[in-house]
Structure 1
Amino acid sequence: MTWLVTGGAGYIGSHVARAFLDSGIDVVVIDDLSSGHEGFVPEGAVLERGSLVDAGFVERVFDEHPVTGVVHLAGFKYAGVSVQRPLHTYTQNVTATVNLLSAMQNHEVPSIVFSSSAAVYGNAPAEFVTEATATTPESPYGETKLIGEWLIADQAVASGLRHTALRYFNVVGSATPVVSDTSPHNLFPLVFRALLAGQTPKIFGDDYPTPDGTCVRDYVHVADVAAAHVAAAQKLDAGETLAPAYNLGSGSGVSVREIMSEMAAVTGIDFTPEVLAARPGDPARIVASGELATGDGLWMPHHTLTEMIASAWQAATHAG
């Protein structure tokens, strides 16, 4: 059994690849290293460096490896930036998915676990987002993730493809000090880089309709997210039918300001964040119920917020 992990040199993808290897499943990674790192690819995984936008490259990878399933994480993942770069976002997230599904069909690969996002919900009005909540994305990034779900579902009707999508919320923490979140846009690495440089961390917007005016998010540990991918893959391999999409959420929200306070406590660095203008495309609140995924045996969050911050800080300081 060999699973292809697209984006497997990235922060989340490398954790997923490690979790598969730890479960005794062989891994091939596709990554163009535009945001991933070759050093993040775990020992034992095969790295194929290239882009999913290159259909010929994708076909070659499937020609050369006995792929039995795919976890599709690769993509352009920055909601705010996608507002300024919609064409790039659609190419990286939609065209690439078409190429991947085409190669899967040509090579009769039966299963895919898709990395989706809470961004498909947009600024959801519900107190807790469930899989039944209306999908109203507010950024090109969120739109492309929803289109990816549609593409996979349509291909399943046409070909019998076994599939599910895992809608992530804010993925943080680390399962190993050698892999850290290096995104130039995510909250945790932004704060840690500022602290390590002796600078003041920034909050983007404090006039949202939330209790303290800052965005409220649902934070989940990357190791728990990786374990959910393995569980989904194993169920698809066993021929089980899964729901089209699952939320990987904790059911509780934390504001950006609250995160900053906990970071000060964990790192031992006292600071008062600087408040800047809100970024376009950022919803005020996204908190999700993970009950469906838990009930189907895919999801169980095991880490506290303090543990998430502490493990992320350890990885950030190890890398720095």
Structure 2
Amino acid sequence: MILVTGGLGMIGAHTARALVDLGHEVVVTTHRRTEVPSFLASRVTVEALDVTDRDAFLALAGRHDISDIVHLAGSIPDKDPVGFFRTETIGLLNALEAARAWGVRRFAVAGSLGVYIGRSESRWHEELALPAAPLPHLIVAFKKAVEPLTTHGLQGSGVQPVMLRIGSIWGPLMDPESPFNPIPPYINAVLRSEQPRPLYADDGGDSCYAPDAGRAIALLMTAETLRHNTYNVSSGRPATNRELADALQAITPGLRLDLLPGRQNGPGDDPYLDITRLTHDTGFTPAFDVAAAVADYVAWRADNPR
């Protein structure tokens, strides 16, 4: 059985779905969310768990035979950065202690494409040295720290660490007004029959639809062997706002979306994650291009608030 912490969140739920689709038993933990998405109903075991509660975390092994852990649970910072870092670190350390105590095969943890910030390249791959650079958000800062904490925390345990450098993910279950990705709010405005804020046509960069991201993580957890401990998780190609607008117009009769010409910051390329390593080791290729992702998301939102 594979444990997915934060398994009712956007990435966690799609990871759990993909694991079940591959024939695995899955237990997901949730702390604040209680609603199980329709695509997981009666397919996974749900455990209410605050991952900062060490005893409750370790007690999961008394109810489930857990073979692997995907640690995706996380919180949103408030005005107290120290409190945020304390919560996230305690949760991670409890998950690492559980991995060691239970002798699991693999322990995967959510990182971020933000670890590459400061690199001048537009195609970011895992062999790039990570620069010491100012980071834009507390979440990115913690996810950069996750990598050495996990590597050293599992040293000598026999548990394989898998660092997931997750790209810009969007899709079903994401807050439609999320400040972390411009795509859901843009589509949400269209669904309200409003003209969304104009975007620059050639801006964009890394983008991956949530079902693809979940399937990529599931393949990493279930591959017979992995040659590396760090993997980019995304679509492997840059996307533009022009593609987004074209996809919405193709499925919405009479819709005309205004785009600003060019790029907001002038000529250049927006960075994106290279997934050559992921594809080589798992066979993963994305099932959704921009058009397919937009059509699927609009159909999902017809019956779901997020």
What SS is found at the alignment partner of 1:4?
Answer: strand
| Alignment partners' CA distance in 1, 2:80 and 2:252 | 35
Match of 2:234 in 1: 249
Q: After TM superposition, give the deviation of residue 4 of structure 1 in Å.
A: 0.3
CA RMSD of aligned residues (A): 2.8
Match of 2:205 among 193, 217, 225: 217
Equivalent residues of 1:189, 1:316 under 8 A apart: no
Q: After TM superposition, give the deviation of residue 301 of structure 1 in Å.
A: 1.7
Match of 2:90 among 90, 95, 106: 95
- 1:202 pairs with 2:205: no
| Alignment partners' CA distance in 1, 2:10 and 2:82 | 24
Q: Percent identity?
A: 22
| Alignment partners' CA distance in 2, 1:39 and 1:296 | 30
| Alignment partners' CA distance in 1, 2:189 and 2:236 | 29
Equivalent residues of 2:247, 2:295 under 8 A apart: no
Question: Residues 233-288 of structure 1, C-alpha deviation per residue, up to 9 Å, x if partnerless?
Answer: 223xx4x34312111234432234653454344334334479xxx9xxxxx93312
> Using a 3 Å threshold, how does the CA distance of structure 1 residues 37 and 147 change in structure 2: closer, same or farther?
farther
Match of 1:159 in 2: 157
Runs (4+) of structure 1 moved beyond 4 Å? 82-85
Match of 1:72 in 2: 71
Q: After TM superposition, give the deviation of residue 107 of structure 1 in Å.
A: 2.5
Unpaired runs of 5+ residues, structure 1, are 174-178, 279-283
Match of 2:216 among 215, 225, 228: 228
> Using a 3 Å threshold, how does the CA distance of structure 1 residues 110 and 305 change in structure 2: closer, same or farther?
same
Match of 1:119 among 107, 114, 131: 114
Equivalent residues of 1:7, 1:13 under 8 A apart: yes
| Alignment partners' CA distance in 2, 1:85 and 1:258 | 38
**TM-score (norm: length of structure 2):** 0.83
> Using a 3 Å threshold, how does the CA distance of structure 1 residues 251 and 226 change in structure 2: closer, same or farther?
closer
| Alignment partners' CA distance in 2, 1:122 and 1:221 | 22
Match of 1:281 in 2: none
| Alignment partners' CA distance in 2, 1:255 and 1:273 | 11
> Using a 3 Å threshold, how does the CA distance of structure 1 residues 30 and 255 change in structure 2: closer, same or farther?
same
| Alignment partners' CA distance in 1, 2:81 and 2:284 | 32
1:20-59 pair list within 5 angstroms: 20-34=19-33, 37-39=35-37, 41-59=40-58
- How many positions carry a matched residue from both structures? 291
Equivalent residues of 1:200, 1:273 under 8 A apart: no
